[in-house]
Structure 1
Amino acid sequence: MRKAAGTKPRQAKNFGIAFFFLSLLMVAVQLINYIITLLPAAEGAVIDLGDGTTIPVSSLSSSYLTLVIITLVVYGGTWFGVLRSMNWARWIAVVLAVLAAVLAVQSFAQVVATGFSDVVGLAMSLAQLIAAGWVLALAFRREVYEWYTKKNGPQAPS
């Protein structure tokens, strides 16, 4: 049974859902970092840069808030483009998924180096890696490719 022209295929819908979950995870990671800087325990905590220089964790709150906003704008704008079946959004989603996967592997390596003491970091990095893999697995499927390159998708005005 053939689908009517303009009906989004299941895999293209799944691509949008996968990117939405990846977006939520990336925003959540930045939001957790921001919340940590606001905790009372962060007031006296410092980050040692290794060369004898230290930075108070609480001084990073405005930087983390900026990262939350930038992450919301970039992932939100891309997700809007994915929902509107824009091919540029599919490519940006692929790039963001690759970056998310790299960051997840880095975060996982840090968790392993600390002896698995950061359970939240472990869970977030694994969830991020799975979501990024899901986006990448769907991005180049034939149905998704055809939908986003407008072969079967909504027709652009002539």
Structure 2
Amino acid sequence: MAQQGPVNGKKENKTVVVLLIALLVWALASSSVASYLYLENQRLKSSLSSLESKAVLVNIAIDYGNGTVVWFNSTPLPSGSTALSALTAVARVEYKLSTMGAYVTAINGVSENIISKSEGYSWLWYKYSPEKKSLEMGPVAADKYTLANGDIIVWRYEHWKF
């Protein structure tokens, strides 16, 4: 059996010392990075809390009535936004104002088409009801309905006939 001489033992000790120093440097660096990321996460959480009171996230769909439906999910809007302002945030919109509220006449170039006094195609808006798990026609004109965080609004180009 060969015995290690004093030279080999010193080399091994130096290697162990270098490895221990490298491990210590790695531990300090990774702890510092982890601490920084934790503190940054806490700062962003508090910023998000203050933003939540100033903004709402809503999902908006535009159904063109021909099988094409375009979704704008998690659209950020200022608090107090309406179903109409949500639509104008994601599309080119034409509308008329009256004492009853705004009436949308065109979305992205698709205009209402009144065939006669008793038939036509128009834009109508709906709100998803989580309780009923279905869409319900907007209860008021789109510019009169204030959105809540998480609302789902669908604009549909629909055929109507009396």
Instruction: Give the TM interval when normalised to the shorter protein.
Output: under 0.3
| Higher helix fraction (1 or 2) | 1
Larger Rg: 2
Q: TM-score normalised to the size of structure 2?
A: 0.27
| Higher strand fraction (1 or 2) | 2
Q: TM-score normalised to the size of structure 1?
A: 0.27
